[in-house]
Structures are given as structure tokens and as C-alpha cells.
Amino acid sequence: MTSPLPWMDAGLPPDERAKMLIAELTLFFAETFPKTIRIATDLERSAPAIVADVTQLHQVFMNLCINARDAMPEGGSITIATRLTENAEVRRKFPKAAAQRYLAIGISDTGSGMDESTRGKIFDPFFTTKEPGKGTGLGLALVHSIIENHRGMIEVESEIGKGTAFQLYLPMEASVSEVKDPRMEIRVNPREGSGTVLLIEDETLIIEMVRTILKSEGYTLLIARDGEEGVACFSRHQKEIVAVLSDLGLPKLRGDEVARRIKKIDPRAGIILISGFFDPGIRASMEKIGVNRFIQKPFTIAELDGSLQSVIDAKVR
């Protein structure tokens, strides 16, 4: 949902609104990251509002912090900092910067760092330094796309053995009331969702992104982290599940085989397959058994909403 940031509740003082999203994420990271990783914040005391998509920025922060965690297998620290910066400073790095002021958001870690060659490729789609099965290489490409779509900029500094620091620059509006609410341009349909959705996915970033989106829209979410678990979960809860979202590249059982088994259990099951790439042969075989919704990573909130609503509507007709 697109909202004035920072961050959500207009009844709170500006400095408190500015800290809500980062505070929420810091708590999540503290509870889920290894205890050997320290999370620190250094936040601007009074940050005026910007207009941005809350869920998309949540996705950006999740991605960057999870990458930071993965770069510190033996522990370390992640620092999230915000500050206000003027156009002149930003233009020295990004000559096309047009806003008078920017909110600079820094996310830095003390991890393994990157060499110059790797640093130059990290925003390329499908480029990844992770082991096979540990990541698609689409996360940072999506981060870059989201920041650009917000008329912002992103830079990265890194050195082998000395960690990595991302700096995001988001333009600040003179007055939120003067900015057109872009909600209707982002949402395919503004209606609230209902029912239970089964997500079969093993990537934490995708899980947390979908969880944030769907719960904010009123859905109940069941999560399975491999194909076998997904089929078993559907078998137990098939009467309440209105749609299945499944990654194609799953552990234990591939997503196309998951779809076949779920269709045997319930031929009317609404299934959406997610992947960075769909082989034409696999796609054709899925369409033959009644899977006709495919989402390619990186995907937008509108694509997820549109596919989900289409599948649910088809099932209730």
C-alpha cells in the first residue's frame, strides 16, 4: 500500500513515524538472525514525509539486510542509518538528481565484502555469488528497480574483508498533500482479499515479501519450504485454501511436480507458479493440467495481486 512516509500513523509525532518501519524490521531481524549478528540503528531525529510504497521499501530493506546476514556467517554487525541531505551533495554523485532534498538511508555490514568486479555486477539480473539453490540473483536487481521507480538512487561501497555499505537516496516532497496518491496506479484492484493462500517457497526474502503483502490485504497465509511439505500441507487444508503460490525450483520436489500432485488431489485448485525463468516445455505442460498463471521474478505487487485475484475468481465461478 502506498503511504506517506515516514511512516504510517499520522497521529504520531514526525520523528516517531520516521522510525516505525525500521524499528519493526530491526525487531524482526533481532528475533530471526543469528545471535552473533548485532543490529544497530542511527536514525534522523526529525525526517519529513516522503511518498513511497511501504511494502516495496520493506522488500528493499529485507533484501539488503538478509544479504548482509549471509555475508557474515561467523557474526558481525549491521547498521541502519538515516539522514537528510541536500541536492548539491547528491548531485556530486548523481548529476541527474532533481529533488531539493533527499532522505539518505544507509545499510552497512562488517561482512566479507566484495571485489571491484563483483561490485560492478550486483545489480545485473540473475547475477549471484551464492551457491546453487541459495538464491536467484534477482534480489538486488529488484532493489535497484524499486529505488529507481521511487525517483531515487542507490550506491554501494565494498572492499574484501571490510564489509559492504549501501546508500539509498529517496526524494523528499515539500508537501505530501500536494503529491497525487499513486495507490490506484499501483494496485490492479483495491479490494481486500480473504481466505487462505498456501505459499510454497524456500527463499526467505520471497516468503517475507509475500507474507507482508498478503497479510496486509486480509489473507491468511500457510507456508511450506519444500515441495513435499507443500503437497502435504495442501492435502490437510485443501478445503480452506483459495490459491497456491509455488516456486518452480523447490527442494525435494519441483514446483511443476507439486502442481501435478495438487491437481490430482483437487482438479479445481488454483495454482500460480513463480520462477526467474520458465522453460516453454514446462509451461506448456502446466497449462495442459490447468495451471495458467505464471509470475516471473522479480515481480511487482500488481502482478502478484492480479494473478491471485484472477485465480480466486476463476475458482468461485
198-237, pLDDT tens digit by residue? 999 988 777 877 887 788 788 999 999 999 999 999 999 9
The amino acid at residue 309 is Q
CATH of the domain at 108: 3.30.565.10
Contacts of 83 (CB under 8 A, 6+ apart): 44, 103, 104, 106
Q: What is the DSSP letter of 155?
A: E
Last residue of a domain, one of 136, 161, 178: 178
For residue 34, is the peptide bond before it cis, meaning its omega torsion is within 30 degrees of 0?
no
* pLDDT digit string, tens, across residues 120-154: 777 776 545 555 444 444 578 888 888 888 889 99
Report how far Cα 102 is from the mean position of its chain's Cα atoms.
22
Residues 229 and 162 occupy one common structural domain:
no
- The reply to whether 148 and 206 lie within a common domain is no
75 with 218, same domain: the answer is no
| The pLDDT of residue 67 | 86
Q: Are 268 and 316 in contact (CB under 8 A)?
A: no
Q: What is the CATH number of the domain that holds 226?
A: 3.40.50.2300
Within this chain, do residues 173 and 191 fall inside the same structural domain, yes or no? Answer: no
CA-to-CA dists, residue 303 to 52, 153, 173, angstroms: 18, 24, 28
How far the first Cα of the chain sits from its last, in Å, is: 28
Domain containing 235: what range?
187-316
Report the C-alpha gap between 38 and 46 in whole angstroms.
25
Which pLDDT belongs to residue 264?
96
What's the pLDDT score for residue 279?
Answer: 87
Closest by CA position to 296, among listed 257, 231, 247: 247
Same domain, 200 and 248: yes
Q: How high is the pLDDT of residue 228? A: 96
- Taking the whole predicted model, whether its pTM rises above 0.85 is answered as no
Same-domain status, 199 and 276: yes
Same domain (yes/no): 31, 57 = yes
Distance CA(149)–CA(129), nearest Å, equals: 26
Which of 157, 178, 199 terminates a domain? The answer is: 178
- Asked if residue 206 and residue 164 are part of one domain, the reply reads no
In this structure, how many other beta carbons lie within 10 angstroms of the beta carbon of residue 208? 18
Under-70 pLDDT residues of the chain? 1-20, 45-52, 54-55, 125-138, 173-193, 298, 300, 316-317
**Same domain (yes/no): 13, 108:** yes
Number of domains in the chain: 2
Q: 123 and 219 in one domain?
A: no
Q: Cα-flanking dihedrals φ and ψ of residue 237, to 5°?
A: -120, 20
Last residue of a domain, one of 143, 178, 213: 178
Q: Clarify whether residues 168 and 192 are in a common domain.
A: no
Helix/strand/coil for 271: strand
pLDDT tens-place string over residues 87-102: 999 999 999 999 998 9
Domain shared by 152 and 174, yes or no: yes
Kindly tell me the number of DSSP H helices and DSSP E strands found in the chain: 11, 12
